[in-house]
Every structure is written in C-alpha cells, then in structure tokens.
Amino acid sequence: MLINNDTIIKDNDERIRQISEDVPLPLSAEDEALLRDMYQYVIDSTDEEKAEKFNLRPAVGISAIQVGVPKKMTAIVVDDADKNGDPVRYEFMLVNPKIVSSSVQKAYLSSGEGCLSVAEEHEGHVVRSARVKVHAYDLLTDRMIEIRAHGYLAIVLQHELDHFKGTLFYDHIDNKDPFKEIPGAIEI
C-alpha cells in the first residue's frame, strides 16, 4: 500500500475516530504486508531525502487506522537513550497491543505531541502515564512480547494505542488551561 502524507487520513475525516478491531493471528498476507508498509513508512520518514522525494512527514509511529484500516496494528521506531544515557533504538511492528499496567505517576512531552493525522498544531500538555507495560504480538521478532516502557517510548506507545479507540492526542489537552501544572509529573 502506498503510504504518504496524501494517503494518511487526517482528523477532519470521521474514519480516524473509528474503533479498531483485533487482528486474527497468524497474520493474513494482506495484514502482514500492510504492517510492513507502515514500518517502512516510519523508517523512511526520518530520512530527509526519502521524506522529500516520497512526500513523507517525519514519524516515530503509525497505526493502521491512519491509513483507513480499523485494525489493531501499529509500527513504532523510537530513538532514545537508556538509563546510562547511551543511544538505543526501539523498533516494533505490533499486533493487538494492550496496556496491561500503567503507573500512577504522569508524564508529558515539554514540546507537546504531534500526529501524522493532525495538520494543525495543538499546544498544551498531553498528560499520560510515565510507565506502561504492553503485551502484543511483534511481527519483527515473530513472537508474543512484553514491553516495559518509560519516558518517551511510553508516551509513543500510549499515543499509538489511543488511535485504536479513536482518540487523538489533543483530546487529552485541558481546553481551559492547556499548560496547567501537573503535580509530580515528569516533563520529558
């Protein structure tokens, strides 16, 4: 499937609010091809030359609903640092991911969040759990996995899994006080 900025569904399209369905395992050839195309989009989107050539917006994740397929599949590629400050890359092609636990402590990105499906900027704190544990099938490793995520990766996972519920990041912003202080929250 061709995935670029023209084919990604935007937030003015009611389909982006559609609830996504569980995906039967093992994956059908069609579902596997779509998930691999989504993953390739994320990889290529951070290559300036490819992004310009193929009309790609930079991304760390994309969910199937963003290309009009209401299925619980998401591709994520996050460059971050481990607890020692060393660079680490997290790469997943997740099917039926589910948050099985989350921290009471909250976190938010100081720069705010963005989304391939949202053209306009929405400023404000998008408050999420600082840590999450996710169970899913991962096509990259071809097995069921458990992800224990904190910080930026935890934010990205929650953002992508929100798409399965038809929720966009700006739904979490307090309209009356978008930058209100969140006691005890980690600013990332």
Give the residue numbers annotated as catalytic, written as ranges.
160
Phi and psi (nearest 5°) for 130? -70, -30
DSSP letter at 119 equals -
Which residues contact residue 152 at a Cβ distance below 8 angstroms, ignoring those fewer than 6 apart? Answer: 78, 80, 109, 188
Contact (Cβ atoms closer than 8 angstroms) between residue 91 and residue 140: yes
Query: Judging by beta carbons within 10 Å of its beta carbon (0-12, 13-18, 19+), is residue 185 exposed, middle or buried?
Result: middle
**Residue 106: which H helix or E strand, with range?**
strand 106-108
